[in-house]
């Protein structure tokens, strides 16, 4: 299995405790094996990396530093455990990145007295489960960078990108604006490009071609040759209330950043539509895939999906659109006859949309196909009689669009979901797309004209929808419950603990009480 972002940042905080009465009936295509128990570790963050099909490295940050745990074998038993001291005052951790076959931890240290910030790269020996040598200085930036008094946050100054083949690593940062007036300032961005051994290939500063008030940065990608790609939205006139929904006022462009410090612009338009959400990635052919959601000017949500591809010669394809139909939007909704009539009228007037749709993951398959996965996500608040404000985060239906390598629509699927706890995980193999989340058992055979049941703590279990990449045929598969797995009590489920292993298996670490954890391996029969 693959996941869109194998670089996991330090996940602060603990995990929610769940329980469910009784065992659940597992799907026949699912097999689960479990490791021997091992001592639990209290940690601020827990990160997991696949080293081989049956080998995992866990890195856990606690008061003593970083604890490295290695798991291996058919049952993923704990084989080694080692703590590295790491607590540097003023350091900002950026996470651990996978470069080629290596793991590298990035962090910076701010020296306020000297007025500089230094970025370090610490290699990790995956075989030993420990640091490999001393940390390497990647760069030192001075007070002209916006870190000093303008844009530095607890998340740090630098941002990072890795090419699809994991052989190119890019560090970016923003200079302090010359003026704070958006109508007069053009952003200047520093960009350092490294190979997988963290040798600098080139660096340059890029001045954006438009002022901040006349453009928005949407996304960034890097290809396997070390070229950078800024995706921007630009405007003919500064945004005002009167032109905010005018598609003629905006267009989209890709700025190609090369080692000579120049930006080459390739512009395109969505015609009478507007970008709602978008992402860029490199495919195996070296093309840059630009995919996202669009909306029509009168819409209050997302109308569909679009894709445009920039090939390695700099040619950009005309965007293709895949609109959500009336029948698709109506799925898993209990709608009155009056409501159906109003939806039909809205559809005729180009006002029918999927409201609150947020893009979560994008996978580019080995054959060139694209899988876009989003979620109906929104936040509600209310104030009780005592004046206390309560906030609820809603993670609802999962929307997946599969686009074939030839650019034609493969399929669209809506997976019914109602949760106030967490989102989902996307996995793909050559044959299937998997959507993993926690669910109410009543949703297993939910009719398309009914609303999904909310997944409460006492009624939840972990499921996956498996969809055939070619046909779009899908199957609901029950995996495990929240109280026990094959007689072993389990607690503290979180999707952040899921570790992809192969195209048809993953592992997850769960607490089993008695101050012990256990590693579980879940395999799907394909």
pLDDT in tens, the chain (526 residues): 333 333 333 333 333 333 334 456 788 889 999 999 999 999 988 999 999 889 999 999 988 889 999 999 999 999 999 999 887 777 888 889 999 889 999 999 888 888 888 999 999 999 889 999 999 999 998 866 754 333 444 457 889 999 989 999 999 998 888 888 889 999 999 999 999 999 999 999 999 999 999 999 999 999 999 999 999 999 999 988 788 888 888 899 999 999 988 999 999 888 889 999 999 999 888 899 999 999 998 788 999 999 999 998 888 999 999 999 999 999 999 999 999 999 998 888 888 899 999 999 999 998 999 999 999 999 999 999 999 999 999 999 999 999 999 999 999 999 999 999 899 999 998 899 999 999 998 898 899 999 999 987 677 889 999 999 999 999 999 999 888 899 899 999 988 899 999 888 999 999 999 899 999 999 988 7
Q: What are phi and psi of 327, to 5 degrees?
A: -65, -35
User: What residues does each domain of the chain span?
Assistant: 30-524
Q: What angle do CA 414, 366, 8 make, to 5 degrees?
A: 70
Q: What angle do CA 200, 205, 211 make, to 5 degrees?
A: 150
Measured distance CA(279)–CA(231) in Å, rounded: 8
The answer to whether 432 and 467 have CB atoms below 8 angstroms apart is yes
C-alpha distances out from residue 470 to 2, 175, 371, Å: 18, 47, 12
Quote the pLDDT of residue 17: 31
Among 405, 339, 395, 397, which Cα is nearest to 371's?
405
Quote the pLDDT of residue 131: 93
Is residue 330 within a helix (H) or strand (E), and if so which, with residue range?
helix 326-330
DSSP 8-state code for residue 148: T
Quote the pLDDT of residue 297: 87
Quote the pLDDT of residue 23: 55
Among 436, 327, 349, which Cα is nearest to 30's?
436
**Tokens coding 471:** 């046909």
Residues 6+ apart with CB under 8 A from 370: 289, 291, 307, 362, 363, 364, 402, 403
Q: What angle do CA 268, 271, 276 make, to 5 degrees?
A: 80
Quote the pLDDT of residue 116: 86
Quote the pLDDT of residue 525: 83
Quote the pLDDT of residue 369: 94
Quote the pLDDT of residue 143: 63
């Amino acid at each position: 299995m693959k996941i869109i972002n194998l670089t996991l940042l330090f996940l602060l905080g603990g995990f929610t405790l769940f329980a469910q009465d009784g065992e659940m009936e597992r799907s026949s295509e699912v097999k689960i094996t479990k490791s021997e128990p091992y001592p639990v570790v209290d940690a601020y963050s827990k990160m997991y990396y696949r080293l081989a099909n049956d080998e995992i490295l866990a890195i856990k940050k606690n008061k003593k530093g970083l604890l490295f745990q290695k798991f291996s074998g058919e049952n993923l038993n704990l084989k080694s455990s080692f703590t590295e001291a790491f607590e540097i005052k003023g350091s900002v951790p950026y996470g651990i990145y996978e470069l080629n076959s290596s793991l590298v931890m990035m962090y910076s240290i701010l020296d306020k007295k000297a007025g500089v910030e230094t970025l370090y790269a610490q290699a990790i020996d995956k075989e030993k489960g420990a640091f490999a040598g001393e940390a390497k200085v990647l760069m030192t930036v001075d007070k002209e960078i916006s870190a000093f008094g303008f844009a530095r946050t607890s998340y740090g100054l630098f941002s990072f990108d890795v090419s699809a083949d994991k052989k190119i690593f890019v560090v970016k940062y923003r200079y302090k604006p010359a003026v704070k007036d958006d109508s007069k300032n053009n952003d200047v961005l520093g960009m350092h490009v490294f190979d997988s051994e963290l040798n600098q290939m080139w660096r340059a500063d890029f001045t954006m071609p438009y002022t901040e008030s006349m453009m928005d940065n949407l996304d960034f990608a890097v290809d396997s040759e070390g070229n950078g790609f800024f995706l921007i939205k630009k405007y003919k006139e500064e945004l005002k209330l009167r032109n905010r929904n005018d598609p003629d006022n905006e267009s989209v462009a890709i700025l190609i950043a090369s080692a000579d410090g120049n930006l080459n612009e390739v512009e395109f338009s969505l015609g009478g539509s507007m970008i709602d959400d978008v992402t860029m990635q490199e495919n195996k052919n070296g093309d840059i895939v630009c995919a996202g959601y669009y909306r029509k000017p009168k819409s209050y949500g997302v109308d569909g999906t679009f894709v445009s591809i920039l090939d390695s010669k700099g040619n950009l394809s005309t965007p293709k659109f895949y609109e959500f139909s009336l029948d698709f939007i109506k799925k898993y909704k209990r709608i009155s006859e009056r409501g159906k009539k109003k939806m039909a009228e809205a559809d005729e007037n180009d006002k029918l949309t999927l409201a609150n749709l947020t893009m979560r993951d994008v996978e580019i398959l080995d054959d060139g196909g694209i899988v876009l996965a989003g979620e109906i996500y929104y936040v509600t608040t209310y104030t009780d009689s005592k004046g206390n404000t309560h906030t609820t985060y809603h993670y609802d239906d999962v929307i997946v669009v599969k686009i074939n390598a030839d650019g034609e629509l493969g399929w669209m699927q809506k997976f019914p979901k109602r949760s106030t706890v967490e989102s989902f995980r996307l996995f793909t193999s050559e044959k299937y797309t998997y959507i993993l989340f926690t669910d109410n058992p009543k949703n297993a055979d939910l009719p398309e004209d009914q609303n999904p049941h909310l997944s409460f703590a006492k009624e939840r279990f972990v499921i996956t929808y498996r969809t055939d990449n070619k046909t779009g045929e899908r199957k609901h598969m029950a995996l495990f419950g929240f109280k026990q797995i094959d007689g072993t009590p389990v607690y503290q489920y979180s999707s952040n603990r899921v570790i992809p292993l192969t195209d048809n298996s993953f592992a997850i670490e769960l607490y089993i009480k008695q101050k012990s954890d256990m590693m579980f391996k879940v395999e799907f029969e394909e």
